[in-house]
Amino acid sequence: MRGEKRHRFQIYFEILSALRDEMPDEEKMGCTRVARKVNLAYDRFQRYLDQLVDAGMVVSQERLVLTEIGMEYIEEYIKFGGFLRRTGLVKH
C-alpha cells in the first residue's frame, strides 16, 4: 500500500533537512547520498535541487551546502506545520 503523496514543499524540506543533518560531517554530501536519504529517484531529485539552488537555499560547489535562507525555510516549514496541526487542517 502506498503512502500519501509528498507535496513539493515537503520534499524541499526533506532535502534541506538532510543537508542540515549532515553539515557537521566533514564527508562530502553528494547528490546521490541526499537523493537516497530523501527517497527520490536521481532525476527527480536533481529537478528539486536545481530549484533550491535557484532560490539560494543550497549552494552546489565541491559539495552541497545549506545556506542561511535554506535554514530559514526549515524553521518556517516547522512553524507552519505546527500551526496546521493545531488548527486541525492536517492530522500528522
Please give the average pLDDT of every successive group of 10 residues along the chain, which has 92 residues.
77 95 68 92 96 96 90 94 85 69
Q: Does a structural domain hold residue 35?
A: yes
State residue 48's pLDDT score.
97
Tell me if 1 is assigned to some domain.
no
**Which residues touch 87 (CB under 8 Å, ≥6 apart)?**
none
Question: Is the separation of the CB atoms in 52 and 88 below 8 Å?
Answer: no
CATH number (domain holding residue 49) = 1.10.10.10
Range of the domain at 64: 8-87
Residue type, 49: L
Give a yes or no: residue 33 inside a domain. Answer: yes
**Overall domain count for the chain:** 1
User: Is residue 46 in some structural domain?
Assistant: yes
For residue 68, being part of any structural domain is answered with yes
